[in-house]
Amino acid sequence: MSRYVPEDELILLYRKTVRPLYAYVSRRVGGDRSLAEDVVQDTWMRALDTWPRRGLPREPLAWLKQVAHNVLVSHFRRRRPMPVDPALLDLGDERFSPDTPDAAALVNWGLARLRQRQVDVLEAFHFDGKTVAEIAAESGVSERAVEGRLRRARAKLKRKLAPILRHAVESAGATATGGQGNARQTRTR
């Protein structure tokens, strides 16, 4: 049941965490402002529901990021993404970056269907911009092992996304032959 949580304490915490939390979410949604704002707001409302009942977490930012992550996973699981031109999202390239909202939606949809260990390594590398050495140090394995995990996770992601990317190519081809121009991002749901 609810406990009193001092307003000043929460506001200070909010001011301290809102920027890193927003950046965390924004990187995962390809900079889609409207979606990032919705997720940050939803995350904070969940914090206001939970913290008075269970007390403040030891690491509030980590807690907020985890909840935001769950909100995103739930969001992307429910929505089938818009197909993206494979040329804009070369999953074979280890430096690929889902930096548009549609590409991020597609990648997240695929991530929601992978194993947690694969998700963690892909997110750390592609969304949080960590180096292989940093991920290796954090997870206590060798850099070579991290590279292997990244490679396998990317291949798995590519397989998961293949039907949607193929659909994008077919749709783009159909549009082009239909004389309506070449849509870089074909929106079919």
Partner 1 sequence: MLDRHEPDKQFTDNLEWQIAGEVRRRNRSVSPSRPVWRVARAVALVTVSIAFGAVAMGASQQIEESWRKDLLLSSLEVRHNLAQRRVDMAIEEFQRIERQFAAGMIGEETMAMARLQLVDAEAQAQILELELEEIRDSGREPLGEVSSPLVGGRDFVSERIRVQMAVAARQLEVAAGELQRMQQLRENGLVDRVGLTGVEAAVRQYEGQLQAHEGRLAIRQSFLAGEIPAVEAELRVLEFEAQERSNTVRQQMELADLEREYMQQQVAAGNVDQLVLRQVEFRLAELEAEVRLAELEMEILRRELEARRQQR
Q: Which tokens sit at 81?
A: 């993404």
Q: Where are the alpha helices (DSSP H) in the chain?
A: 7-28, 33-54, 60-78, 101-111, 116-122, 132-139, 143-177
| Residue 58 touching partner 1 (CB under 8 A) | no
Window contacting partner 1 (CB under 8 A); options: 25-33, 57-65, 149-157, 161-169: 25-33
The answer to whether 161 touches 172, Cβ cutoff 8 Å, is no
Q: How far is the CB of 40 from partner 1 (least distance, A)?
A: 7
Q: At what angle do helices 132-139 and 143-177 cross, to 10 degrees?
A: 130
Counting residues that bind partner 1 (by CB under 8 A) gives: 29
Which of 149, 29, 161, 28 shows the shortest CA–CA distance to 91? 161
Q: Which of 16, 37, 55, 173 binds partner 1 (CB under 8 A)?
A: 37
Q: Which of 46, 50, 52, 57 binds partner 1 (CB under 8 A)?
A: 52
Nearer to partner 1, 54 or 58 (CB): 54
The answer to whether 92 touches 51, Cβ cutoff 8 Å, is no
Q: Which tokens sit at 178?
A: 């239909």
| Residue 149 touching partner 1 (CB under 8 A) | no
Nearer to partner 1, 33 or 151 (CB): 33
Q: At what angle do helices 101-111 and 143-177 cross, to 10 degrees?
A: 120
Q: Which of 14, 61, 88, 141 binds partner 1 (CB under 8 A)?
A: 14
Window contacting partner 1 (CB under 8 A); options: 8-16, 132-140, 154-162, 168-176: 8-16
Residues 67-106 that bind partner 1 (CB under 8 A): 74, 77-78
Q: Which of 15, 54, 95, 189 binds partner 1 (CB under 8 A)?
A: 15
- In the chain, count H helices and then E strands: 7, 0
The answer to whether 174 touches 139, Cβ cutoff 8 Å, is no
- Binding site residues, partner 1, CB under 8 A: 1-5, 7, 10-11, 14-15, 18-19, 22-23, 26-27, 31, 33, 36-37, 40-41, 44-45, 48, 52, 74, 77-78
